[in-house]
Amino acid sequence: MTWHIGVDIGGTFIDFCAHNSDTQVLHTIKVLTTPDNPGAELRQGLELLEARHQVTPTETIRFVHGTTVGINTIIQNKGAKLALITNAGFEDVLELGRLRMPDMYSLFCSAAEPLIPRDRIFGISGRMTAQQGESAPLELSELVEIIATCRQQSVDGIIISMLHAYQSPAQEDAVKVEIERLAPDLFAFTSSEIWPVVREYERSTTAILNGYVHPRVAGYLGGLEDTLSDLGVPARPLLTKSNGGLMQAETGKRNCVSMLLSGTASGVTGACWLARQAGNDRVLTLDIGGTSADVALIIDGQPQFGKDEKIGDYPLHIPSVSVSSIGIGGGSIARVDAFGVLKVGPESAGSSPGPACFSRGGAHATLTDALAVCGYLGHAPMAYGQLTLDIERAVSVVEDIAQALGRDVAATAEAIIRVAVSEMFVEVEKLVSRAGIDLRDYTLMPFGGGGPMLGAMLARDLGMRHILVPHRPGVVSALGGLVADLKGDSVRALFVPCNTPSVEALQKASKDLVAEGDAWLYQKQGFDATGETLISAEMRYAGQSFEVDVPLAQEWIASGDVTAIRTAFDARHQELFDFNDPEAEAEIVNLCLIVTGQSQHLHMDQQPLQAAEAQMLKRAPMRMAGDEHQVPVYLRDGLAAGHRFVGPAIVAQEDTTCVIPTGIQVHVDGHLNLHLHLNESHTDD
């Protein structure tokens, strides 16, 4: 037998998917994370897979891993102590930023502290021009004093970000070489090697984020390789990336920034694959974990991408799957503020101590405790038998909130749920407004531990008509790693008009990008088949501040067909903004390349449909919409393809619970997904 194993670490659980490529069987488990001993849960999970499902480590031919080590390092402020070297006179680049406050309407808002304070930012003489010339020579002798100061301040590494390095990295490279000679014990990264784009603030912060997480990520990945070696896993580990693709773990030790959003991106990748199987190409994903709810759009069967995501308070200017995170998860703590208003999140109980109902030391009422009080939980072994539910403890902590509000416990628990759903509604509405779409034409796909519990309530509020709940919704992010492809991104800054005289520069940049992409895919990643190359241009009208991404046909560049390129840009601008100006001058700012190496995809057979009503396990009390109902409880593993039933109901399984409000019709498809059809007459229930 041969196994493909996907692993994803979240805030509360680490999820495992093991697919047998011979029998097409898929096994899943969850293991609680161990924040004080990262990596221990990985060994525990692999050993549990072997004990329960005979998943033999020595027969693993593919191992894909998504981790939150990088992003947690940033959120917890536990990264490397860095210094920044830039051009003399530009030492305030981080302080100035974009001169924008996080919340322009708050009188008490303040900008986040930079990851590198001002006393560890050093200017060095030397200057490149935007025309790729040198206006002032580089004074490398100044590095002696800079490095001496860095040593006094116990710096771990140095980031080098200089003006116009996106076009002319020579001075950055020279500084890095000299640092490696003078201080080989300090790691160094240049902004041009991480992501060589215009706008020095975003380019600098992206390089800084890479250096900030580098020691912990590299150490974690080294430990991962050791663990797999100890267990006899022959496969070289692959990592999920922020762009929804994969890379070798060895690449990730230096290119750490590209995996900061790996977990959220992998969830969307898995959702895309599941949606295509089910025949849905317009989907709103809802991934609710222990600490957050992440939402994303799938349009025409593809996830949406952006280059201005934020990690905490810091911009990340690399291609990433566009995911909006909301500080509401199963562990989100409920409280009553000074004005007597009920609030939920963003503070979370996490995996340790976790919600009070898990009896792991949690002392505050969380969203999960409210769900337990309302009867949504406890109908099947939780987290594959690793958690037990203490309803009395949940009632006790929710009662503290109830007393502050002057309500009874049941009404308070339901209010906590409604507040949480309302918070999600607000953020989804913002996303939908930016995208300019009508959610009535979209399917909601809830996953994660909490998605199926709250998905129907959110869909009802949003006016959505269809919900698709995957067969194993609790491990979609881990599944995403198994269905993802190797994927690399490259960029070249051009800053040329979209006209015939620019063709030569455009063709040279394209040739360089293709060579760089091929080197990444075939040499660094060891891909041994034929890859796919996609090229796009970031373009704008002259005078605009930001660009739009325009897909290009490679033959347009090869033949110098700037008319086709310009027409594509005008059409894309019209599509995004309902406006274009064919008479205005257009500029090509960057040329971008995506190279993909298609992985061996999973195959999941469809089950024959049965024309039968589902058989319930029992009836149980559930509170919803102010009333308590005795509702049918179905076991997910007891539902076969073709089964049908009508809500209210609860579908219990080991990785989550699906809550189905009154009047919603449900059927099971050939891939054992649940399809929930919202009857418009019940949208106000």
Q: What is the distance between the alpha carbons of residues 487 and 535, in angstroms, rounded to a whole number?
A: 13
Torsion from C-alpha of 395, 397, 403, 409, nearest 10 degrees: -20
pLDDT confidence bin for 533, thresholds 50/70/90? very high
* Domain-ending residue, one of 196, 226, 259: 259
Are residue 138 and residue 183 in the same domain, yes or no?
yes
Residue 90 belongs to a domain:
yes
Q: How many domains does the chain have?
A: 4
DSSP-assigned letters across all residues of 2-67: -EEEEEEE-SSEEEEEEEETTT--EEEEEEE--TTSTTHHHHHHHHHHHHHH---GGGEEEEEEE-
DSSP-assigned letters across all residues of 270-329: HHHHHHHHHT--EEEEEEE-SS-EEEEEEETTEE-EES-EEETTEEE-S-EE--EEES--
Are residue 11 and residue 88 in the same domain, yes or no?
no
Q: What is the distance between the alpha carbons of residues 444 and 457, in angstroms, rounded to a whole number?
A: 11
Cβ–Cβ under 8 Å, residues 596 and 614 = no
Q: Tell me the average pLDDT across 115-137.
A: 91
The per-residue pLDDT for 680 is 54
Q: Tell me the average pLDDT across 578-607.
A: 90
Distance of CA 515 to the CA centre of its chain: 29
Q: What is the distance between the alpha carbons of residues 65 and 135, in angstroms, rounded to a whole number?
A: 46
The per-residue pLDDT for 325 is 83
Residues 297-337 have pLDDT tens digits of: 999 999 998 877 777 678 888 899 988 888 888 989 999 99
The string over 639-665, giving b where at least 16 C-beta atoms fall within 10 Å of a residue's C-beta and e elsewhere, is: bebbbebbbbbbbbbbbbbbbbbbbbe
Q: What is the distance between the alpha carbons of residues 598 and 625, in angstroms, rounded to a whole number?
A: 47
Which tokens belong to 448?
Answer: 């994660």
pLDDT confidence bin for 110, thresholds 50/70/90? confident
Partnered with residue 310 across adjacent β-strands are 315
Residue 282 belongs to a domain:
no
Q: Flag whether pLDDT at 683 surpasses 50.
A: no
Are residue 67 and residue 85 in the same domain, yes or no?
no
- Which of 89, 500, 66 is closest to 258 using CA atoms? 66
Residues 510-522 have pLDDT tens digits of: 999 999 999 999 9
Q: Name the pairing type of β-strands 302-303 and 293-299.
A: antiparallel
Q: What is the distance between the alpha carbons of residues 355 and 366, in angstroms, rounded to a whole number?
A: 6
Residue 130 belongs to a domain:
yes
Residue 432 belongs to a domain:
no
Q: What is the distance between the alpha carbons of residues 634 and 476, in angstroms, rounded to a whole number?
A: 21
Backbone angles phi, psi at 415, to 5 degrees: -65, -40
Q: Which long-range contacts (CB under 8 A, 24 or more apart) does 527-530 make?
A: 527/486, 527/597, 529/597, 529/598
Q: What is the distance between the alpha carbons of residues 342 and 370, in angstroms, rounded to a whole number?
A: 13
Are residue 87 and residue 189 in the same domain, yes or no?
yes
Are residue 565 and residue 633 in the same domain, yes or no?
no
Backbone angles phi, psi at 8, to 5 degrees: -140, 130
541 or 685, which is more confident? Answer: 541
Cβ–Cβ under 8 Å, residues 376 and 453 = yes
The per-residue pLDDT for 553 is 96
The per-residue pLDDT for 626 is 85
Q: Tell me the average pLDDT across 283-303.
A: 91
Cβ–Cβ under 8 Å, residues 556 and 503 = no
Cβ–Cβ under 8 Å, residues 208 and 82 = yes
Q: Tell me the average pLDDT across 186-190.
A: 97
Residue 161 belongs to a domain:
yes
Q: Which residue has the tokens 């004093």?
A: 145
* Domain-ending residue, one of 184, 207, 230: 207
Residues 335-365 have pLDDT tens digits of: 999 899 999 988 888 767 889 999 888 899 9
3-state secondary structure 323-370: CEEECCCCCEEEEECCCCCEEEEEEECCCCCCCHHHCCCCCCCEHHHH
**Is residue 616 classed as helix, strand or coil in its secondary structure?**
coil
* Domain-ending residue, one of 226, 241, 259: 259
Q: What is the distance between the alpha carbons of residues 635 and 684, in angstroms, rounded to a whole number?
A: 28
Residue 445 belongs to a domain:
no
- How does the average pLDDT of the chain come out, rounded? 91
pLDDT confidence bin for 685, thresholds 50/70/90? very low
Residues 230-258 have pLDDT tens digits of: 889 999 999 999 999 999 999 999 999 99
The per-residue pLDDT for 684 is 39
Phi-psi region of 548 (alpha: psi -120 to 50; beta: other; left: phi over 0): beta
Measured over the CA atoms of residue 369, residue 373, residue 376 and residue 378, the dihedral's sign is positive
Are residue 572 and residue 636 in the same domain, yes or no?
no
Q: What single DSSP character describes residue 553?
A: -
Are residue 501 and residue 529 in the same domain, yes or no?
yes
The per-residue pLDDT for 11 is 67
Partnered with residue 444 across adjacent β-strands are 284, 467
Residues 138-184 have pLDDT tens digits of: 999 999 999 999 999 999 999 999 999 998 999 999 999 999 999 99
Q: What is the distance between the alpha carbons of residues 421 and 95, in angstroms, rounded to a whole number?
A: 37
The per-residue pLDDT for 681 is 44
Q: Flag whether pLDDT at 38 surpasses 80.
A: no
Q: What is the distance between the alpha carbons of residues 3 and 63, in angstroms, rounded to a whole number?
A: 9
DSSP-assigned letters across all residues of 73-105: HHHTT----EEEEEETT-TTHHHHTTS--S-TT
The string over 397-429, giving b where at least 16 C-beta atoms fall within 10 Å of a residue's C-beta and e elsewhere, is: bbbbbbeeeeeebbebbbbbbbbbbebbeebbe
Please name the residues in contact with 170: beta carbons below 8 A apart, sequence gap of 6 or more. 128, 134
Q: Flag whether pLDDT at 554 surpasses 90.
A: yes
- Which of 191, 138, 140, 143 is closest to 167 using CA atoms? 191
Are residue 197 and residue 227 in the same domain, yes or no?
no
Residue 231 belongs to a domain:
yes
Are residue 23 and residue 116 in the same domain, yes or no?
no
CATH code for position 255: 3.30.420.40
Residues 598-638 have pLDDT tens digits of: 987 777 778 889 888 888 999 999 998 888 889 999 999 99
Phi-psi region of 360 (alpha: psi -120 to 50; beta: other; left: phi over 0): alpha
Are residue 501 and residue 572 in the same domain, yes or no?
yes
**Listing from the earlier edge strand, what are the strands of the sheet with 657-660?**
618-624, 627-635, 649-652, 657-660
Are residue 502 and residue 576 in the same domain, yes or no?
yes
Partnered with residue 247 across adjacent β-strands are 239
Residue 618 CB-half CA count within 13 A: 7
Helix (H) or strand (E) holding 657: strand 657-660
Task: For residue 664, give its domain range.
Answer: 612-682
The per-residue pLDDT for 387 is 81
Residue 352 belongs to a domain:
no
Are residue 91 and residue 149 in the same domain, yes or no?
yes
Q: Tell me the average pLDDT across 265-269.
A: 93
CA 679 vs CA 429, 460, 644: distances in Å: 21, 10, 15
The per-residue pLDDT for 682 is 43
- 548: how many CB neighbours lie within 10 A of its CB? 18
